[in-house]
Amino acid sequence: TLSDRLTSVLQNLRGKGKLTDADIDATAREIRIALLEADVALPVVREFIAHVKERAKGAEVSEALNPAQQVIKIVNEELIGILGGETRRLSLAKNPPTVIMLAGLQGSGKTTLAGKLALFLKKQGHAPLLVACDLQRPNAVTQLQVVGERAGVQTFAPEPGNGVGDPVDVARRGIDEAKHAQHDIVIVDTAGRLGVDEELMKQAADIRDAVQPDEILFVVDAMIGQDAVTTAEAFRDGVGFTGVVLTKLDGDARGGAALSVRQVTGQPILFASNGEKLEDFDTFHPDRMASRILGMGDLLTLIEQAEQAFDQEQAEKAAAKLGTGQLTLEDFLEQMLAVRKMGPIGNLLGMLPGAGQMKDQLAQVDDKHLDRLQAIIRGMTPAERADPKMINGSRRQRIAQGSGVTVREVNDLVNRFFEARKMMQQMAGRFGFGGGSATKR
Ligand code: GDP
Ligand code: MG
């Protein structure tokens, strides 16, 4: 599996101090093979590898992670990024009913999805109507009706006994029925073929034109692997779609199809189906899919923990200094950089015991402001950073000029630093984390 492969690849990197170009190239080669084995389509693999290489080369050497962990982290982040970052939700029409059309190959799981989606939406308080526009197979309509009954929603279907009906006509009448009976969502099930064919595409396009869907969901079986790209491209060009649903994730597919479809069509994956029962269904989570593709969920957790532990160590070092009043501007800068790597400045608070009192002050510090503070401190000499008391008027002027800010901003920073130091000293005394006693884990 990809997991085994990456693990063995990355073992070669273990113990080296930093990422060299040769390391990155060798690793990239192996990741490429591994992704192909996970059924990710070749062009997608190429692009992905290019991203990872670029990022790995520009990456700062992490103190918290060894090079192997660092590469995995980058690969994981890139995967999540391509898979869509955040989960996108269904977009609902301003004027109901919202029309959701399902498209995809035969057997991809459209009819089953119609039931799953209906149940999912019903639980959220919607009143969906299923519309049976697959008139291709004899029992396709019955199948949808059964699924609808199980989900406890109504199904609109052509009257039996009239021979083969016109799916476009059924679709149109289904929408009218929804308006009439106050359904706020319509889910249109359509026919599929075993392979992509023109007649099928035309029928789907005709239904699309008749009902003007708010969402067209391309339903794709995760097991089709490499074929996902050609199928997705055919549906994109033939019908167009606004989102993707991956099915049969309960099988042993590693999820390569997800990466391919997402990358090639640029459309988000909204839902994931993982079983035959109506409940086997969830919104799509890019992070979970990334760790499925990598097959290294545990490793990713370890990496997260390693980073957190490192940040905590840094915070504790600073806290120890705080108590003795020895905090320097250098520490201040170091802290700031460490905190920024982790995300919002407010996180620092969680790490300093008893620092709740400074919440208001810290809340005013946004990222742009931090950039300026950083510039100011960088404009100081090491001696000034270590002993801010020596920063007199002329030094302030020089620092301001060097870092492109006003003298007033330098004054602000220095004054605030002294205030903070004093306050923290007081708190340290009160909460007993000053001096050497701050090493509890
Ligand atoms: P359609 O032809 O696109 O409408 O596909 P169907 O909804 O009829 O599904 C085809 C087959 O796949 C059926 O036997 C379903 O029970 C099965 N199926 C659909 N979704 C899933 C899934 O997420 N997991 C599994 N294991 N089977 C599924
Ligand atoms: Mg069907």
| Model confidence at 439: pLDDT above 70 | no
Q: Which tokens belong to 212?
A: 């003007």
pLDDT confidence bin for 440, thresholds 50/70/90: very low
Q: Is pLDDT larger for residue 249 or for residue 23? A: 249
Nearest to 297 by CA among 307, 309, 306, 287: 287
Distance between Cα 125 and ligand 2 center (Å): 25
Task: Point out the ligand nearest to the CA of residue 107.
Answer: 1
Highest-pLDDT range among 121-125, 288-292, 420-424: 121-125
| Model confidence at 436: pLDDT above 50 | no
What CATH fold (topology level) applies to the domain 2-83?
Four Helix Bundle (Hemerythrin (Met), subunit A) (1.20.120)
0.80 exceeded by pTM: no
| Model confidence at 19: pLDDT above 60 | yes
Stretch 280-286: mean pLDDT: 91
The answer, yes or no, to whether any atom of ligand 1 lies below 6 A from the CB of 279, is no
- The confidence score (pLDDT) of residue 356 equals 44
- The confidence score (pLDDT) of residue 194 equals 78
What does the mean pLDDT of the chain come to? 81
Name every residue whose Cβ is closer than 8 Å to that of residue 151 and which is 6 or more positions away in sequence. Answer: 115, 116, 118, 119, 122, 278
Nearest to 418 by CA among 356, 332, 351, 359: 332
- The confidence score (pLDDT) of residue 441 equals 33
Stretch 219-223: mean pLDDT: 94
The kind and range of the H/E element at 285 are: none
| Model confidence at 78: pLDDT above 50 | yes
Residue nearest to atom 26 of ligand 1 (CA): 275
Stretch 245-259: mean pLDDT: 87
Q: What is the full DSSP assignment across 12-79?
A: TTTT-SS--HHHHHHHHHHHHHHHHHTT--HHHHHHHHHHHHHHHHHPPPPSSS-HHHHHHHHHHHHH
Residues tagged in the binding site annotation: 104-111, 189-193, 247-250
The answer, yes or no, to whether any atom of ligand 1 lies below 6 A from the CB of 112, is yes
- The confidence score (pLDDT) of residue 363 equals 52
Asked if the domains at 98-285 and 316-438 fall in one CATH topology, the answer is: no
| Model confidence at 237: pLDDT above 90 | yes
Q: Which tokens belong to 193?
A: 């073929």
Q: Which atom of ligand 1 is nearest to the CA of 249?
A: 23
Please check whether residue 39 is in contact with residue 280, taking contact to mean a CB–CB distance below 8 angstroms: no
Residues tagged in the binding site annotation for GTP: 104-111, 189-193, 247-250
CA 276, 277, 279: angle at the middle one, nearest 5?
A: 130
Superfamily (CATH) of domain 316-438: Signal recognition particle, SRP54 subunit, M-domain (1.10.260.30)
Q: Which tokens belong to 269?
A: 């994956």
Task: Sketch the domain layout of the chain as residue ranges.
Answer: 2-83, 98-285, 316-438
Q: Is pLDDT larger for residue 252 or for residue 175? A: 175
Residue nearest to atom 16 of ligand 1 (CA): 276
Distance between Cα 190 and ligand 2 center (Å): 7
Q: Is pLDDT larger for residue 208 or for residue 9? A: 208
Task: Point out the ligand nearest to the CA of residue 191.
Answer: 2
The answer, yes or no, to whether any atom of ligand 1 lies below 6 A from the CB of 108, is yes
- The confidence score (pLDDT) of residue 427 equals 64
- The confidence score (pLDDT) of residue 162 equals 58
State pLDDT tens for residues 337-389.
665 655 544 444 444 444 444 445 555 556 677 788 888 998 999 889 888 88
Helices of type H across 152-240: 167-180, 198-211, 228-238
Task: Point out the ligand nearest to the CA of residue 110.
Answer: 1
Distance between Cα 277 and ligand 1 center (Å): 10
Give just the sign of the alpha carbon dihedral 284, 287, 293, 297.
negative
Stretch 385-403: mean pLDDT: 92
- The confidence score (pLDDT) of residue 417 equals 83
Q: Is pLDDT larger for residue 347 or for residue 168? A: 168
What CATH fold (topology level) applies to the domain 98-285?
Rossmann fold (3.40.50)
Burial 226-238 (b: 16+ CB within 10 A, else e): ebbbebbebbbeb
| Model confidence at 15: pLDDT above 60 | no
| Model confidence at 158: pLDDT above 80 | yes
The answer, yes or no, to whether any atom of ligand 1 lies below 6 A from the CB of 111, is yes
What does the alpha-carbon distance between residue 96 and residue 94 come to, in Å, rounded to a whole number? 6
| Model confidence at 148: pLDDT above 80 | yes
Q: Is pLDDT larger for residue 66 or for residue 255? A: 255
Q: Is pLDDT larger for residue 406 or for residue 325? A: 406
Q: Which tokens belong to 221?
A: 């079986």
The answer, yes or no, to whether any atom of ligand 1 lies below 6 A from the CB of 328, is no
Stretch 238-243: mean pLDDT: 95
Q: Is pLDDT larger for residue 440 or for residue 404? A: 404
Q: What is the DSSP letter of 227?
A: G
Q: Which residues pair with 189 in a beta bridge?
A: 132
- The confidence score (pLDDT) of residue 295 equals 67
> If you search the block for the tokens 């939406």, which residue do you land on?
121
Q: What is the DSSP letter of 213?
A: -
Residues with beta carbon < 5 A to ion ligand 2?
Answer: 110-111
